Structure 1
């Protein structure tokens, strides 16, 4: 609004105007702090911002503790003090650029690792087929 009042129409005019305007504005509206310390409160230890600021989706775990997510499989890696997740349980998957892919189940956050399912190995010996002549 101040730019319009001062008939400012270019960036150069705006830059020049702000050199004088900002100190005047601060004289009118700034307030001295009551104390010299920080006004921010410390973050509680139990609050994990990576579990808040992330993408969240639900998935089901298979019998071996693996779940699929966008074409990739992830295995849940419980720590020593964490209970295992039962098969077919519904989990919350958290995806973050900072912490990667993690899982939350019943309030407990678990780490995961990329899992490549082993391919099924075919029997090495070919199966014998019964021929039609053996029935005759």
Structure 2
């Protein structure tokens, strides 16, 4: 039985970048399929552009960026830039209280790095946010040091 694949921020960013590149190409889905020598079907191209079904695979990403006259490396850099934009949008859409909590976590982690603050003062539930927005290695060390 197939399970639904959950998209993450990289999947959405890749979809956004490819969609823009394919729009600039100005070809129909059928023409795009022909440009990939049938490696990516027109229905799959439509699904990728619309964000339906599974996220884009690496092979599809490379082929579609190539037919769009964009080096895959350049497309990947565009994806990473888009991820930063999406993360910033997510941060800015938070309430001031949520942002203050995240900033407080950053300050606690900075203080913990520069002194011997006990890890008992760090709430494990807040470390999940630190992992998403902060230093993952330091967050992992904090978990390991916890009693």
Give the shorter-chain TM-score range: under 0.3
TM-score (norm 2): 0.21
TM-score (norm 1): 0.22
Larger radius of gyration: 1
> By percentage of residues, which structure has more helix?
2
